[in-house]
Amino acid sequence: MVLTHPAETPLKPRTAIVADPDIGRLAATAAALREAGFSVATAPDRAVLSELLKRRTPSIVVADHSLAELQTSAPLLVLIDLADGSEAEGAKSLGIADYITKPPCLLELVHRADTLISRATQRTDARQGAERLRERLRMVSAAVRATNDPQLIAEHLVNGFGETFKADRVWFTTFEDDRVPLVRAQWHRPDLPPLAPELGAHEEAAHSMSDRLWAEADVLTVDDHRNHHMTPDERGLHGWTQAMHPRASAMVPVGEGKSSLGVIWIAQLDAPRAWSRAEIALIQHVAGNVAYGLIQSHLISAQQQVVKQLQQLDQAKTDFLATVNHELRTPLTSITAYLDMIQDGVGGPLPPDVDRMLDIIVRNAERLRLLVQDMLTVSHQDYDGSSLHLAPLRMGHTLGIVTDALRPLAELRDVSISLGLSVEDPLIIADEVQLEQVFTNLVSNAIKFTPSGGRITVTSVQETVPDGAPHVTVRVADTGVGIPGDEIPHLFTRFYRASNAGAVPGSGLGLAIAHDVVNRHRGHMRVHSEMGAGTAITVSFPVAGP
């Protein structure tokens, strides 16, 4: 790559359009500009002027007042007759860059043209520089917003400011604050040593200064420390800043709400530096993004910590349930075994009263066994990944097993059970053991809440749901006490029992377990009930594919 010395860089050629109906004045003006190095095009009337402006954008347009109403981005120098009051007034309303009297002094005209071009160039350079600055700081803000790591946020900030402003040092720290983590970062010119990472004894003064600047929505800028008279607030930081020997600096608060959270310090060491309003506004904008990012990252970190603690608590609960279940099942197994032996007459015949008492003990031991089993099921559903052992099965077979197993219990309570199966009885893909548990819970509940002389019907049909897919729908209906309508939405909540359950034994886990198993099979469960008229629970499962 060939580097060109600034003195050898060719100047941008200057071009001019001169428009004047006075041919003599037009020629003289054009000649003066050409002699000064301009490339000149002339227009004696509005038509030619318009055509020239369509084809090019000159460095300047010099036009007689009569032709000055035109659309161009180039600076406009207008020739006016001061003796004609209307031309002078019209010049003010045209929004022209400058005007000169007719006939113009040609040396002055060239000088005016050069001045206008120089000003236009400066404005263009300033706009382009501001746009470049905005674009670089947009990239810094984007990098800050792209991460939730507080240290990365701080490093993106100091690196971005250091490179954007060509600073010698950039230093950032947060203060002790519940809203943000304590984080520090710095950037410096490669030949400079790093600063101490902490403010030390100057922490309180820096915090106080940052709070004041934040309250006033202000930034402390010093163009030249050699000529700067410090305020009382600044004197508290004098020792800290002097150790860095800055020539120019900017101190920017980072805050949220009513107080600051931290401070950014940008330093130039070798020469004075003036900070423009555009630079300060953009610095404050990025500082706002940094504050938001740090607060957000702190909240996310706190949430993650809470989630981790909850997971640990859940695991502890799981371990506890597993231990309790094991400790309960072991003595229960022994109790029920000995009860069976006693009822079978191993110890000799029993008096009728003792036999009735044993029946009560057996029933309560069975209730306790089922409760332990439900607790273990809930624990497994939460923490073992809810694994399913899927295989093709026919719903009629499963429902037959369940109703046959529970019919003696129903007859004991003088409740009838009828089973009606569809002719199709299509295959579904399911975990047969878990499906048996679902329908055992549903039919057992129906038996418990149906008074003597009632009936329970279990039916299975194939039907098409609204989305067009075939489903097997099972309906378990009873003529029991019913459920209050406002309590139906709560039935699938663990340990919830309807208000009219009364003395009917139960843990409030059966429906919750059944609902969870059905959901994991991509099925649906619905409850319809009327007080005093009974309850119907409908469960549907998708039919297996070909």
Q: Let me know: does 90 contact 12? Beta carbons within 8 Å.
A: no
Sequence length of the chain is 546
- Residue for token pair 């400011």: 161
Q: Reply yes or no: is the peptide bond before residue 331 cis, omega within 30 of 0.
A: no
Euclidean distance between CA atoms 1 and 4, whole angstroms: 10
Euclidean distance between CA atoms 60 and 130, whole angstroms: 24
Fold matches, 130-301 and 391-542: no
Residue from 158, 231, 157, 243 nearest 199 by CA: 243
Q: Where are the domains of the chain?
A: 6-127, 130-301, 328-383, 391-542
Query: In this structure, is the dihedral angle defined by the CA atoms of residues 508, 514, 517 and 520, taken in order, positive or negative?
Result: negative
| Residue 105 backbone zone (phi > 0: left; psi -120 to 50: alpha; other: beta) | beta
**pLDDT for the residue numbered 9:** 39
In the numeric block, which tokens belong to residue 124? Answer: 């263009």
Euclidean distance between CA atoms 503 and 505, whole angstroms: 6
Euclidean distance between CA atoms 393 and 398, whole angstroms: 8
**One-letter amino acid identity for 515?**
H
Where are any strands of DSSP class E within 374-441? 391-394, 416-421, 427-430
**Farthest CA pair distance, the chain:** 145
CATH number of 6-127: 3.40.50.2300
User: Would the pTM count as exceeding 0.75?
Assistant: no
In the numeric block, which tokens belong to residue 289? Answer: 């993004």
Q: Which residues of 335-346 are buried (b: 16+ CB within 10 A; e: fewer)?
A: ebeebeebeeee
H or E stretch covering 513: helix 510-520
**pLDDT for the residue numbered 377:** 64
Q: Do strands 455-464 and 416-421 pair parallel, antiparallel, or not at all (unpaired)? A: parallel
Q: Tens-of-pLDDT digits for all 546 residues of the chain? A: 333 333 343 456 889 999 999 999 999 999 999 999 999 999 999 999 999 988 888 999 998 888 888 788 888 888 888 766 666 565 555 556 688 888 888 889 899 899 998 888 888 877 887 788 888 888 888 888 888 899 999 999 999 999 988 999 999 999 988 899 899 999 999 999 888 777 767 788 888 889 999 999 999 898 998 888 777 767 767 666 666 778 999 999 999 988 999 999 999 998 999 888 888 988 999 999 999 999 988 888 888 888 888 888 877 776 776 677 667 766 777 777 778 788 777 777 888 888 778 877 877 777 677 677 666 666 555 544 456 788 899 989 999 988 888 888 888 889 999 999 888 888 889 988 888 888 988 998 888 888 899 999 999 998 887 777 889 999 999 998 888 888 888 888 777 777 777 666 666 677 888 888 888 888 889 999 888 889 999 999 998 866
**pLDDT for the residue numbered 2:** 34
Q: Do strands 39-43 and 15-19 pair parallel, antiparallel, or not at all (unpaired)? A: parallel
Phi, psi of 457, rounded to the nearest 5 degrees: -120, 135
Euclidean distance between CA atoms 69 and 61, whole angstroms: 12
Vertex 61 angle, CA 55 and 66, to 5°: 105
Spatial strand order of the sheet with 169-174 comes to: 184-188, 169-174, 259-268, 248-256, 220-222
In the numeric block, which tokens belong to residue 355? Answer: 């036999």
**pLDDT for the residue numbered 317:** 72
- Cβ-based burial of 53 (10 A; exposed 0-12, middle 13-18, buried ≥19): buried
Euclidean distance between CA atoms 7 and 285, whole angstroms: 38
Q: Let me know: does 260 contact 211? Beta carbons within 8 Å.
A: yes
Q: Out of 3.30.565.10, 3.30.450.40, 2.40.50.140, 3.90.1150.10, which CATH number does the structure's domain 130-301 have?
A: 3.30.450.40
Q: Let me know: does 173 contact 199? Beta carbons within 8 Å.
A: yes
In the numeric block, which tokens belong to residue 312? Answer: 């640990």
In the numeric block, which tokens belong to residue 465? Answer: 């749901």
CATH architecture of 391-542: 2-Layer Sandwich (3.30)
